[in-house]
Structure 1
Amino acid sequence: MFMNVLNWESEWEHSHTLADSLKKSEKNGNIQRLCFMPGGWACFRSEGAVDNFLRNLSIQCGGKVITHMWWGGDDCGSSLWQDGRESRNVPSVESPEWDSLAKEVADKTAGWEACAAFHEKLDSCWETYIPKLRELTLKQIQEQSSEIAATMLCYGQLSKLSWQKTWIEYLNRLDDPLAVVRDALLAMLSALAQEKFDAAMWGLMDKADIEQGHSKEVGQEQTM
């Protein structure tokens, strides 16, 4: 099984053309585990070399340059396609260049697949959470308003995660990362709210002491 990393010049039209072609190829079973990342990058797995597949993508994009790196068996290299023409540079298997490129492809593929797995899990948690809200009464919604708001906030923020490798690795180990992050946020907000409440009360007491002291002074002046 080859691990592939594909990069293209990320103009809007070409990006969408390539994305649609890759999705169709995955649907037809030509590639597997397709994962898109920002900046015109995609990774996927294939049973063998994808030379003809790349050439077709290049033609569809009107001759835009596509860079492809793969790792599997004894094959590792990069190909550039422009106007359907091939220009190949495959370093020797025993060379430092081969080791470096193999590691680059492996690291990027592993990282992007971990990111894709996390977002799939996150979306699954969200889709499981939403039906539960529909079963709540108005009173229950009011009672759980803080939890609901925190869940929505966490889902929105977690959906943006892409480059935070350490965070994603940790969250992927959790059965329900959405609930864990939400509960942590609520606990922190509760502690912060208690601190703010205490500070507000002390502020009121100080104000009351000042006002009481001022009233005594006024009273003493009036009696003189």
Structure 2
Amino acid sequence: MRGSGVGKVRVKTAKGRTAQSVRWLERHLNDPYVRKAKAEGWRSRAAFKLIELDEKFHFVKGSKAVVDLGVAPGGWAQVVRKMAPKAAVVGIDLLPVDPIQGVTLFEMDFMDDKAPGLLREALGQEPDLIISDMAANTVGHAATDHLRTMGLVEAAAWFAVENLRKGGTFVAKVFAGGTDGELLVLLKKNFTTIKHAKPPASRKGSVEWYVVAQGFKGRPDEGTEPTE
């Protein structure tokens, strides 16, 4: 992705602002994906990660019912609405999210016992796509941050296994090295194909990757899919 040709933005060190935060802010302001997201009306640069993943794995277009776990600030939900305009879309997050046209939003924990029922009711059917760009809040200790985020990913994977429609897809952010052993076993048991990818929109220095699990095998009590 080429730069816009605009000169680099310099950030002055201010009272209460550390040198590290200054470097992060400069990198953010000079990021071409940030500029492009702003120009195109996406809520975050992460929108391009989903777009690039879909270009490779083709899971958004054609989806009928989509759940966005950890939807804030809403960039991924925006992409789904644009690429699959006929799909029912719901998003859930602990954080408040500004309204997104065509998306039903819930401000609650997706691990709440009431969440699955509320989401399915809003969709009017079981989801065929569950996406998650969630990462746990970092504490600055690499091993701890990895464990916290992978725990969140595993919870999202279980949510997918317990709620996806047969044939559905689960997409989630993981760290470098891909899915941990137990999570990989869970996904291989329940999906026909498991792939890992690092979209170009992920920053070069970032340890994030994404897992794309397609072809959900269904639950034993699910039976056959209804014919249309």
Q: TM-score, with normalisation over the residues of structure 1?
A: 0.24
Larger Rg: 1
- Higher helix residue share: 1
